Structure 1
Amino acid sequence: MTSTGPTSSSASPGPSGEPTAYADRVFRSGAGVFWGCAMLAVVAWLTIDALIKGEAATIWKVLAGLLFVVPLVVAFTIRPAVYAGADRLRIRNPFRTITLPWAAVDAVRSGYSSEVLAGGAKYQMWAVPVSIRQRKKAIRNQARSAASNDPDSTRTSFGRSSASNKPTVSMSDQTVRDLQELAESRASEPSAQGTPSVRWALEIIVPGAVGLVALIVLLATV
């Protein structure tokens, strides 16, 4: 999971008294993007091989399968991302994009999955996967730090021990904490008011559905 990039509206004043641009924080799973690109590379290789060696009927089936498979791979690996801006939280999941003004966010929490509660609904954040292994490792590091009774091993804002430089909070849990703090600090801003909105990812759903229907027809008739 990575955090990157600028864009978005103004927030706090800078040294000169002028408002400074609030940089959007972007969270996504690095492993998901890697495996998504790897899967697409394999699909491309198989497709090229089929187009070169296959007969006409096979080629049509491969193209239909490609139209069905590629959107699914992109949806579950490369597409998921969470954008935390000055005024709102935007969650891009496989088939939906949820936009939540900070004032509408009731809580951001992490259990077996990372999720946001807003307007009586619950939205999962696919881009912030929970790793139980990382969480247990962080708890062990925290216990060792406390047992050592070392005054230099206090936790920093990044959830790390300054003495051992080992994480005492898992990456997903720290991300959830950061988003919760951001929601609490920005909720009272006039520009952060509003209601949740949900948009279906038609750019993923439509090609995938067309490819599935075409593949079924071709398999049944050719």
Structure 2
Amino acid sequence: MASDRGQVSRTLYDLKSLDGRRLSPFGQRVHLALRHKDLGLDKVELVRFVDKDAIAFAKSQSVPVLVDGDKVVADSWRIANHLEDTYSDRPSLFGGEAGRALARYFNNWCGIWLTAEIASFILFDMLQHLDEEDRAYIRRTREPRFGPLESLNETREARLPSFRKTLDPLRLTVKQNGNLHGAEAGMADFMVAAAFHWAEQSSAFALLTSDDPLYSWSKRINGQSP
């Protein structure tokens, strides 16, 4: 078990933007998990969408990739489990196997629904933070699923009330418990809050109102002032 962060060199490969914004919700999950574990990074390597060769060593097509000493781990869920199991003497991301199962649910829910829903509101705006090659990549890979990105912006105001209503179970849980994980925040919170952080970094379009409990919760989890 490696518990002294001074003894291990740690590098995170994350998504590059033109202006330093964090445009990967999955990379943000790892930043939050590392902060919770009080584990530092020696280096952050920023990689464009099109720079697949930069992370080929990890046998991955996308960030995040964590190099933790001699261990290479790709995918935010696998990284979270690696951090939990390797640094078990530090604050827990899951709080036991029940919490790990809860986090797995939110990992699946974000992957199947939340990430795509948020993307439909902010993808076109996100283009302004990417270089020309990455903008072309986003159009080439996302428009077969979503259609022309400009069209998404034309319909997003009409779609917003339904999206906000669908978040009611999250909203109620946060109001009742303080967090999704419980009294203390855990990996379940980091996964969902990272998605809202991605939205804020990518677009000025407000998915949440400032008086929404999810708004202040997301700001708190992401280490921002409400």
TM-score, structure 2 normalization: 0.25
Please identify the structure whose Cα radius of gyration is greater. Answer: 1
TM-score, structure 1 normalization: 0.25
Pick the structure with more helix per residue: 2
